Chain A
Amino acid sequence: MKIRSPMRAQSRWFRTGVATREAYRCAWMLGLLVLLASASACKVKLISDYDEVIDHSATELQKRVEGFVHNMEGAAGTPNGTYNANKAFYDDVRTDISALRVRAMAVSNNSLTLQEIDGIEKNIEKLRQLHDMGGANGLRPAVAEPALSALNVQFVALLKLELAKKRGE
């Protein structure tokens, strides 16, 4: 009688369909257990947590931008309202946005917030260009109002998402 080695017998057993199904089932159960065990450590989070700093910084930035645009509307047509007289504001705001972005980048699962910050930066740049284009007239109300409206929609969008991340806590 021929004696088969245990290794050969085992490899034959693994080739059968039953064994394959068994292996899949075990792998699936193991995966489920790992998933459940990790879920037990904390709740599932698909998006970053609420960040008080982002909330407050964005609120402050919105106030600054709105206050500036209203001042510029009042100063339109005067030397104080020209782009050259107000370049410093745009530099400051760029710095604020950069700080906001760095903060948002430090948090994982925060890509939507980062994209929203990028969108605000793009519109601040558009506002700067419009102000510059205005020459001696500066930022006229006819230009300033729709520009501010777009920026406010963006600030609301950013804050709405940030506040929703509180998840009822």
Chain B
Amino acid sequence: MNKEFDTEESASVVSRRDFFKRTASVSAVAAASILAPGALLADDENIMHHPKWGTSLGDECNYNPYGFPSKYEHNVVRRTSALMSSAGDMHAAISMTPLHEQKGIITPSGLHFTRTHNGVAHVDPNKYRLMIHGLVEKPIVLTLEQLKRYPSESKILFMECPSNGAAEWKGPQFNSLQFVRGMMSCSEWTGVRLKTILDELGLKPEAKWMLAEGSDGSEMSRTLPIEKVLDDVMIVWGQNGEALRDEQGYPVRLMAPGWEANLCVKWLKRLEFGDKPWYAKEETSKYTALTASGRAIQHFYALETNSVITSPCPEIPWTDLKKGDLVEIEGLAWSGHGTIRGVDISFDGGKNWVEASLKGLVLPKAWTRFSYMYRYEGKPLLLQSRSYDDSDNVQPTVNQEKKVVGVEGVYHRNAIHTWAVNAKGEVNNVQVRS
């Protein structure tokens, strides 16, 4: 069935790379056509004929009661690698957001990166309970429905695994944006500010630390200081207008804005207030950053001031550009310390810099888009971006970062990233370091 349609489709759908090649080979013609429309170019079949979708009845309006992306977008998916797991076991692993396809600053929930320590738990919301106890006047246990009765707030906040970029400490390894920086996403999160609940429960003055514990097989637990808890920590049940996805801790996770995603405990079960830190496994044996001194930074909370150019990148190269084309360099900047104030761009590997423009919403602890209009010259470039924020942190060079913490820290890597663009417009992951 639909044989004619299939033929049409296979003829008109070429891979992006093929398309670029074709376009490049007829670039002179294309350039001429701008001046004299249609003078030299063959007529486009896609214009000359009605498409199948215009000459037949489409699907019923609600044929997908819960919608999916176009099936043509099937390659826009999270990806993982055996390197991100133990022995290739994908229960304690991480999958990366396809940042090269990310539009704006909200990551679709289904593309939000996922880190699990004992698989994705599937929690029955009817059996869900949250207990808050310890150094509070009035301990409490809540069902999901009771929790959602608390007044809610919604905030756009990025979520980043502190291992983001960890494969790159000793040099470049992956040749894709997705694997260089994909352990992060940004969503609008909805839930209750924890302080709102604590105001009712009565936090005792000797409470200095909070244990957050998950209900999954790994019983993920972490200790947070009270100051943060009372500032902006939330208990969230909503993501991008709907319930959290299972992979993000359905039905409830902790949200510590700007801090390690690992602290934003998923499948949240219990919050206990105490006067001492707990030394949980994921804040001692892991999620501590070993420095060249032989000692490790612990309780390393806030994600660093950071940025990356998302276009061009190895997945979205400039191979279709001609000399003289005006093209947008686009990227993402973020900081767990506060709000991005600006981003600088270098074309020569960090010797000279110009200021990029920020665009869209500029929010604390959220992805911020930056843009720079560039006249393509077809010459090799070492493209870099460098962000700075309102806490006065400036993104370091690879050398500046490793001078202080060495190359074995695993976590919180935020050195300036470099894309090498060659004369053909191909983009490769490199590092400028010594």
Chains A and B form a bound pair: no
Residue ranges of B at the interface with A (Cβ–Cβ < 8 Å): none
